[in-house]
Amino acid sequence: MHVKNTHTVGYLQMDVKYLTPELTGLPWTCFEYAVIDIYSRYKEVVILNHLDEDGAIASLLEIIPKLPFKSLFLQTDNGLEFQTRFRTFVKGLGMEYHYIHKRTPNENAVIERSFRTDQDEFLYRLEMPPQNYDELRIWFANWIREYNYERPHLGINLQTPYEVVANVMSD
């Protein structure tokens, strides 16, 4: 779904970013499962050490209760982690589900841009590598809190994602 077609919160994009040793300083690759609201840019993340449908389902189970609004719609790419079992799971949550068209990552532009922000403003600025996977998860949670509640975003008129959500919820 395109940004211009959303006029309220609850329309989500989901994707996974590979967190390679070059990005994190850890000796192995782990995976950032992320969900972002297209309208408000409110984002939640789960870091896991595996990439598969089980990981996608587990991360969505962890993320959905954290969102401060009802989730209506989910859009993903066609990755192997987002196939039949995942699709069935999402529909079981009462959400509408759509894949982007093949080879068109720009249809998931909001989540892709947020990954770039994570990379530029968090991962590239780590002063030292995390001691372990759990420490990376804690640091990432702190970054996402800043992203949602403190950092102004150009795409939403220099508001924070939470300010946009709060404005929508108060109407």
Domain count, the chain: 1
19 located within any domain:
yes
* Cα–Cα distance, 115 to 147 (Å, whole number): 12
**pLDDT of 23:** 94
Residue with tokens 């720009």: 106
Closest-CA residue to 19 (of 115, 110, 163, 128):
115
pLDDT in tens, the chain (171 residues): 555 667 899 999 999 999 999 999 999 999 999 999 999 999 999 999 999 999 999 999 999 999 999 999 999 999 999 999 999 999 999 999 999 998 887 889 999 999 999 999 999 999 999 999 999 999 999 999 999 999 999 999 999 999 999 999 997
**pLDDT of 148:** 98
Cα-flanking dihedrals φ and ψ of residue 30, to 5°?
-125, 180
50 located within any domain:
yes
147 located within any domain:
yes
137 located within any domain:
yes
33 located within any domain:
yes
CATH number of the structural domain spanning residue 152: 3.30.420.10
- Residue-range definition of the domain harbouring residue 152: 3-165
Classify residue 158 by its DSSP letter: T
* Cα–Cα distance, 34 to 82 (Å, whole number): 13
Q: How far is CA 114 from CA 81, 143, 155, in A?
A: 20, 12, 11
86 located within any domain:
yes
171 located within any domain:
no
**pLDDT of 70:** 95
170 located within any domain:
no
**pLDDT of 3:** 58
CA neighbours within 13 Å on the CB side: how many for 162? 12
